[in-house]
Amino acid sequence: MLVIGEKINTINARVRQAVEDRDAMFLRDLALAQAGAGADVIDVNVGSRPSVEPESMRWAVGLVQEAVHLPLSIDSPNPVAVRVGLEACRNPSQAWANSINLEQSRLEGILPLVAEHGCHVIGLCMDEDGVPATAAGRVRAAQRMVEEVGRRGISLEKLYLDVLVEPISVVPHAAMVSLGTIREIRSVLPELKTVICLTAISFGLPARRLLNRTLLPLLMAAGADAIILDPLDHQLVATLKAMNALLGRDAHGLAYIAEHRANRLG
Amino acid sequence: MLVIGEKINTINARVRQAVEDRDAMFLRDLALAQAGAGADVIDVNVGSRPSVEPESMRWAVGLVQEAVHLPLSIDSPNPVAVRVGLEACRNPSQAWANSINLEQSRLEGILPLVAEHGCHVIGLCMDEDGVPATAAGRVRAAQRMVEEVGRRGISLEKLYLDVLVEPISVVPHAAMVSLGTIREIRSVLPELKTVICLTAISFGLPARRLLNRTLLPLLMAAGADAIILDPLDHQLVATLKAMNALLGRDAHGLAYIAEHRANRLG
């Protein structure tokens, strides 16, 4: 399972300030720390000021890829910012475009870039009415997304379906719906991959990290192929490592013992 | 889901000493602490010295049920100790006999006591060859257990099938087999209930509590009806409370917020 590190996002006030100040050191350190904690992909979202987003994206992508040799996820709904971000990548075919939905403007603005660069793309399982309340509704949106991607000649191997998760403070069954969507996609679209942004589950509640790390094993067991999360949350990463052992891929717990010896189990 | 508190067990050196010394205060405090942490049932295992086990059981049951008004789980393979323990219970129909397997001596020694007192009984999903390696094998043992219990006129509502878990240090897929057994029993024996002893998963590994609390959400999501665990492991209990919220039964996270305000989320 891939870990997409979510920390470089101007929704966070400190990151927003760093982007506005062009504080390269701060962003570089945030990228390095996430890489050191095991992130496989570094998400870059610099959309706090839409008018300068493309220029901010070019700047951020340039310095992050100097700091870490990991694929970047160009996180914007704005096709111009996605284009600039992908063009700034050393190896755009390894990058991610995050994200598209079924809106024509995003499909037509972003999918040609995905086709041109051969990069990965995250497709949100939502439709014109928003986020479907049921797994069945999200899978229907996923099937439409698969058609849109496929008919533009993009390999479905490049598509990650974001099953979405709503805060349980708003939708009590939110976790169960997202887990059901992952399982349903594995059943009806078994060649497709899934991704989910973990952190949204706990929005509006106290002790958010406890909820996040309690959901993580369920997502991994359901078979999520990638998870967008905070790699600097030590207990979350420790849970991920414990789950790797529980999934049965760790003969005699040797990898788990090694993580323990390296003091990486929280 | 029921929590069966596992702390009163002479496999622990301090508990063993307390039982041998007839240290009533120690056992009483251990019962009270587990009740305070949310245990629904208190397990009592005093089998470290088999020759005096029945007498130790009578003593322990007497003092524990004075301390807490919770059902007790009389934990012994020895029919004499189980009989003495049930007879010492104020309300034996609420008690648990823990446990039977398919051995004739245990079936014939313990099931008549279960029928007589109308208590609950835990049946281990193992057969003459030991613990089956697969979920299918454990379900076959469960089906034989159901027959044995049923033909003695005991209500199947009283039976909890222990799906068993082996240490992942020995059997890498152990967690997945146990989870599969719970799901399979819910599918083929939907009227039956399941129980599992969480702690065994991490035997032989470091950072055991991290593994235990990572497995817990998976067991709850799979639908385990009762879990034998350490209620004094604060992070484990916090995980349980977070999982209650994630299961969708906690409108707007109100119960979770209340637990947070009461400082019970670790």
> What ipTM score was computed for the predicted complex, to two decimals?
0.94
Nearest to A217 among B173, B176, B214 (CB): B214
Whole-number Å distance between alpha carbons of A198 and A200: 6
Q: Is the pLDDT of residue A266 over 80?
A: no
Query: Contacts of residue A220 in chain B, CB cutoff 8 Å?
Result: none
* B28-79 pLDDT, tens digit each: 999 999 999 999 999 999 999 999 999 999 999 999 999 999 999 999 999 9
Q: Is the pLDDT of residue B251 over 90?
A: no
- Asked if A205 lies within 8 A of B239 by C-beta distance, the reply is no
* A5-20 pLDDT, tens digit each: 999 999 999 999 999 9
Q: Is B134 helix (H, G, I), strand (E, B) or coil?
A: coil
Q: At what angle do helices A135-150 and A104-117 cross, to 10 degrees?
A: 50
The nearest CA of chain A is from the CA of B262 a distance in Å of 12
The nearest CA of chain A is from the CA of B160 a distance in Å of 24
Q: Which residues of B35-54 are buried (b: 16+ CB within 10 A; e: fewer)?
A: bebebebbbbbbbbeeeebb
Q: What 8-state DSSP symbol labels residue B94? A: G
* A203-218 pLDDT, tens digit each: 999 999 999 999 999 9
Q: Which residues contact A76 (CB under 8 A, 6 or more apart)?
A: A45, A46, A47, A53, A57, A82, A85, A98
- Provide the β-strand partners of residue A135: none
Amino acid at A129: D
Q: Which residues contact A21 (CB under 8 A, 6 or more apart)?
A: none
pLDDT recorded at residue B266: 75
Confidence of residue A249 (pLDDT cuts 50, 70, 90): confident
- Asked if B246 lies within 8 A of A207 by C-beta distance, the reply is no
Q: Is the pLDDT of residue B249 over 90?
A: no
Query: Contacts of residue A256 in chain B, CB cutoff 8 Å?
Result: 205-207, 211
Whole-number Å distance between alpha carbons of A72 and A30: 13
| DSSP H or E segment with residue B120 | strand B120-124
- Asked if A246 lies within 8 A of B207 by C-beta distance, the reply is no
Confidence of residue A176 (pLDDT cuts 50, 70, 90): very high
Q: Which residues contact A218 (CB under 8 A, 6 or more apart)?
A: A175, A179, B217, B218, B221, B246
The nearest CA of chain B is from the CA of A201 a distance in Å of 9
Q: Is the pLDDT of residue A251 over 90?
A: no
Whole-number Å distance between alpha carbons of A261 and B158: 45
Handedness of CA B203, B205, B206, B212 (dihedral sign): negative
Mean pLDDT (chain B) is: 97
Whole-number Å distance between alpha carbons of A232 and B214: 18
